[in-house]
Amino acid sequence: MSASIYDIPIHRITGETASLSEFHGKVLLIVNVASQCGLTPQYDALEKLYSRFKSHGFTVLGFPANDFGAQEPGSNEEIATFCRATYSVDFPMFSKIAVTGPSTHPLYQSLIAAQPTATGPGRAGFRQNLTSFLAAKHNGIPTNPEPGILWNFEKFLIDRHGNVAARFSPEVTPDDPAIISAIESALKS
């Protein structure tokens, strides 16, 4: 990465200015999340993953985004309330940002530049199904071409030094063996 992710300004979901520097030395899973998506139940698996590995120096960081099918229309306060009430989310959540298009947040610009391609067993099939779904339900809203974020719940694994270790496409669930293995490997290094 050209600039350290630890230096990029962000805001907590409650509005306070923050940075990822407070997580320096930890393994991170950065996820663009949404409350009204078919993938929203991944919040449950993300919370379980966080609970399982947090004592080992791991955390999940949620960044709500309303870029895909307007599936995150709420305010930061509404998002926080939904996450706590529906999925008992305890991992850190941040203010809603753009993860695609001309207003892409600098954090996501940096993550995408560092890891332009996501992995996933059905990525091509997922993209095709998503394109068909969007054509039928959302007036053909296009999916983003590589290297852009494909949809909600794309995941970036960050090692203890702030480097992108892996990128997983949205259909790869947080409890997938590939993600678990990647986290365990990053925690050992």
Question: How far apart, in whole angstroms, are the C-alpha atoms of residue 99 and residue 151?
Answer: 9
Please say if 37 is a catalytic residue.
Answer: yes
Show Cβ contacts of residue 61 under 8 Å, excluding neighbours closer than 6 positions. 20, 23, 28, 29, 30, 31, 91, 92, 93, 94
Neighbour tally for 143: CB within 10 Å: 17
* Catalytic residue chosen out of the listed positions 13, 37, 60, 61: 37
List, as own/partner pairs, every contact residues 162-165 make where C-beta atoms lie below 8 angstroms and the sequence separation is at least 24, other chains included: 162/1, 162/4, 162/5, 162/6, 162/20, 162/24, 163/1, 163/114, 164/1, 164/111, 164/114, 164/115, 165/27
Q: Residues with catalytic annotation?
A: 37
